[in-house]
Structures are given as C-alpha cells and as structure tokens.
Amino acid sequence: MRSSTCSAVSATRIRPGQGRSDRQRGEGAVFLTPGRPLKQPFRPTGAGPNALCVVLAVGLCAGCASLQADDDRQARRVTPVVEAFRKAKPAVVNISTTRVVTYQRSFGFDGLFDDIFGRPSPGRSRRYKTTSVGSGFVIHRDGYVVTNAHVVARTTERKIGFVDGTERPADVVAIDTENDLAILKVESDTPLPFLKLGRSDDLMPGETVIVVGNPLGYGHTVTTGIVSALNRELYFSENVVYRGLIQTDAPINPGNSGGPLLNVLGELIGINTAIRGDAQNIGFAIPVDHVHRLLPRLLDIERLRRVSFGIGFGSNVDNHGVAGVLVDRVASGSPAGAAGIRRGDIITEIEGHATPNFMEAFGVLDGAPPGKILVFRVAGENGRVKAVKLALAEIPKPDGEKLMLDRLGVRIRELTRRERRELGLRRSGGLLVKQVQPGSQAFKKRVEPGDVVTKIGGRPVGTLDHVGHLLEAYDRGDIIRVGFIRIGRHVSIHVELTLKAR
C-alpha cells in the first residue's frame, strides 16, 4: 500500500478487502478519519496521489482564509470604547449588600427619646433584611476597592463579585459620607487586577466617556456618553451638598453607583455617584482628582496599621521630572522629623519600590510589619535626593472602655454570647451600658444602665477594641452619632443620638 501525506492532514489509501469492498467504497477511496469515507468516491487521475494533497491543502487554505477574514473583520470594529472596556473590565466589581432595617411606630420628632423611653411603646418593633447592589473597582493589587459611601453605609454584610464569577466578603476600611466615598478590603491569595487613577483636571465638555458597572444587577454593563458639563453642584439636603461634580449623559441607573467613569484611553476620570430621578440622561460623577486628594486621609497607614513614623501624605506630584508623593505633614517629635524630613518634600521610593503615587507608597507600607526599618528616598525642595531610614513604631491599642467614659460619660462592657442570645442580638453586635455619669449629655438624653450601644459614628460595634478605634478619632467638641437599643419584655426600641465629645 502506498500513502501520501500533507503537512496538515494525513490521507491513507485503503487496501482492497479492508472493511467494505472496494466496489462498495469506490476504488482508491480516501478517508480523512477511519471509517468515514468521503460522500463522493475519489478516483485518482493520472496526477497520482499527490493530487489529493493539493485538493485538501486548497480546502484548508480556504478555511484558514475565512477565519482570518473573520478575525480581520472583527479587528476593524474594535473601537477605543471596546479597548477601554476590555482594559478596565477585570478590575470592575459588583457589590451586593445586606442591611438590617428596624421599623417601629413613631411618636414624632420632638422629644423623641423622652417619648420613647418615658412610656411603653404601643407597638412592637420589626426587623427585616434588605439587599441592594452597587458597583466599585479595585485600586490596589492587595484587594482595596473604591465605591460610594451610600452603597455600603449601615450595611451588615458586603460581597464583592468579580468578572470570573467568584465572590468574596468585604470589610469597610474607611468611609466618608461627606464626599460619598468608601474604601473596602477583600482578601485574595493572588494579586488582583486594578485600575490606576487618572486625572480629571483636563476634562473637556463634549469628550466621550464610558461607564462600567452593575445597573439593576446586570453585571459589567458598559454604556457611553459625553461630558455634559463640569463643576456641577448637587443638593440632597441643607447639610448634604456635593460640589465639583462631572455631569454626563451616559446612561447611569441604580446599581451603577460607585463604578468607574473612564475616558477613551481607558483612564479612570471619575466615580459614578448619582442621577436626577426627574430627568433623563443627567448623571453625575465624583472627579478622580477628589479621590487623589482624599485617599491619604481615608487610607491613613498610621491609623489602619497602628504604627507611627510621623509622615502625613498628600497628593501625587511630578516636579521637574521627580515623581512621588508629597509630604503634607510631619508630626512634631516623630522619627520623620528627627530624620530631617520636612513638609513639601517628595517621597520617590520606599524600600526600593518607586512611589509615583500614593497607592504605591501605601502598598509598601501596608505590607511592612510593625517595627521594621524602611529606607525612604526623599527629594527636598532644593532638588537634592537623600536616603532616610525610618522605623514603623507600633502604637498600643486604645482603651475603648476608658475612651467611652471620658468622651461620652458612659461606662460599657462587652456582652457574653449567652447575653446576646437572650437579648436577641446578632453574634457580634452591641455593648452593655453599665453606668451613665450624671450631668453628661447621655444622662440628660435618658440613656440608662441596661441599654445597648450598637453603633458609633454609623459603624457597628461589638467589642471594646472597636469602640476604642472609632472614638480615638474624635476630639473634644466633636459631634458623635451613637446608636442605642433599649430591650424590653415585649418591645425593642432603636434610637440614634448625637452626643458632643467631652
């Protein structure tokens, strides 16, 4: 038997008597796979078996050409919007949240606490869970996520959904309701894809913008529009005003909040935050330059890691080719001050890692253990660069019980698991009021021993450590929102009071 081969397909001539007869198969029939003859018998001509390779090669080339044509056709349709979406998509996340809402009959607003605590409630309070969706995006490979404050405020559970379908729980690291920004943290065994923060000081009305998010739960939806206007103000109430917003006509719907607004280069230029419900195609985004300004405060490494080295970071700078993070503050008597670092200096490297922006500096510091000595490269105002060694000194944990008594005149203790179960509280929520100092604001507002503290500054508390971390951020004269529950035999009353720190 003779056989002939081509580079792509092997053709084999079947010997007479193998399987069906040659008459059944057709003399010299050729099979591309065993037992599957061509629909029409192939009868070689004087050209010999090599003619078969020519026929097959022509067919294969035609198929390859067709595939190539399809690829070329699709490639010609790839617009800057498609490229920007493909670039950003892995870093955009869907956020699903759960809130516990308590409904109770109201007595009116005047003397609310006195009315509630002064006489029995005529009806039972009811608690139920509500769920909502929002959007966000990863800004650092270690799992830090930006979203709107209103997406995660007063939530008890948060889940982050990624483009590959995986979900991870998230903790709130920092929240700024005044600017409607929040930072979440998710744990990951591998570095996560992230978006680099762009700039918004050069935006042009009329330029194309791209919205990516989770509208109404439809994950990773992309819409487009233009910059309609800049520096808009949005009034939610007398006390809540957002300023300097980007206005866009890109379709934004409930669930888009917290997602990225991109330009056609795929650069992050804003965070989608609100729409006008009484209009069409009027949406608003927080400029990314606001995020640059707020991140050093929201991700204060000394507060989050409980370490001290004396530097307060400012915005990113690029001064005559020297790129880094501005030193905005140097604490008096700190290691940084003793090492000669001054306000206005620029941090260009930490431990050999370039720090062209705050998030790069934060990433290095966040991964360093307390007590470690780090090498900072610092560019002074005279342009000279020096290496400075600074240790991350560990800060002792604050005493939550003492701070609560000193700031608010309320002595508290942690609840046991049994007490929480008997009071009908969730596993990690609440601290018991043991004593209220006479003359304190809490005393005047009728807080009593046996009440339960559930929130401070809008954040749930369940341990004295939680209380300490939250209260140490308040100074004398600051207003603190404190949530209380009074649990009776037949009814539980939930109230939020505003108390002035002493």
For 454-484, what is each residue's pLDDT tens digit?
Answer: 889 877 888 999 899 889 889 889 999 999 9
- Among the ranges given (126-130, 300-304, 419-423), the one the predictor scored with the smallest mean pLDDT: 126-130
* Cα–Cα distance measured from residue 48 to residue 46, given in angstroms and rounded to the nearest whole number: 5
pLDDT at 294: 92
Element (H, E) at 490: none
- The reported pLDDT for the residue numbered 29 is 39
Q: Residue range 10-34: average pLDDT?
A: 41
pLDDT, average across residues 21-49 = 43
* Arithmetic mean of pLDDT, 6-16: 40
Active site residues: 150, 180, 257
When pLDDT is averaged across residues 212-230 and rounded to a whole number, the result is 92
Taking 50 as the threshold, does the pLDDT of residue 54 lie above it? yes
Of the pLDDT bands very low, low, confident and very high (cuts 50, 70, 90), residue 426 is low
Q: Are 498 and 433 in contact (CB under 8 A)?
A: no
Q: What integer pLDDT is reported at residue 9 of this predicted model? A: 36
Which domains are delineated in the chain? Answer: 3-76 (no CATH), 79-298 (2.40.10.120), 300-394 (2.30.42.10), 400-500 (2.30.42.10)
Where residue 128 falls among pLDDT bands split at 50, 70, 90? low
pLDDT band at 246 (very low <50, low <70, confident <90, very high): very high
Mean pLDDT in the chain?
81
Q: Which of 21-25, 56-60, 141-145, 285-289 has the lowest mean pLDDT?
A: 21-25
Task: pLDDT band for 448, please (50, 70, 90 cuts).
Answer: very high
Q: What percentage of the chain exceeds 90 in pLDDT? A: 43
229-266 exposure pattern, b = at least 16 Cβ within 10 A, e = fewer = eeeeebeeeeeeebeebbbbbbbbbebbbbbbbbbeeb
Q: What's the pLDDT score for residue 39?
A: 45
Question: Beta-carbon neighbour count of residue 105 at 10 Å?
Answer: 12
User: Could you tell me which residue, 489 or 373, shows the higher pLDDT?
Assistant: 373
Rounded Cα gap, residues 372 and 301, in angstroms: 14
Whole-number pLDDT of residue 428: 60
* Sign of the C-alpha dihedral computed for residues 275, 276, 281 and 285 taken in this order: negative
pLDDT in tens, 324-351: 999 999 998 888 999 999 999 999 999 9
Please report the pLDDT score of residue 135 as a whole number.
Answer: 93
| Residue 34, pLDDT above cutoff 50 | no
Is the pLDDT reported for residue 111 higher than 90?
no
Q: What is the 3-state secondary structure (H, E, C) of 415-466?
A: CCHHHHHHHCCCCCCCEEEEEECCCCHHHHCCCCCCCEEEEECCEECCCHHH
- Between 238-247, 248-257, 294-303, the lowest mean confidence (pLDDT) is in 238-247
The 3-class secondary structure across 48-75, one letter per residue, is CCHHHHHHHHHHHHHHHHHHHHHHHHHH
Per-residue pLDDT band for 131 (boundaries 50, 70, 90) equals confident
Across 70-85, average pLDDT: 87
What phi, psi does 285 have (nearest 5°)?
A: -135, 145
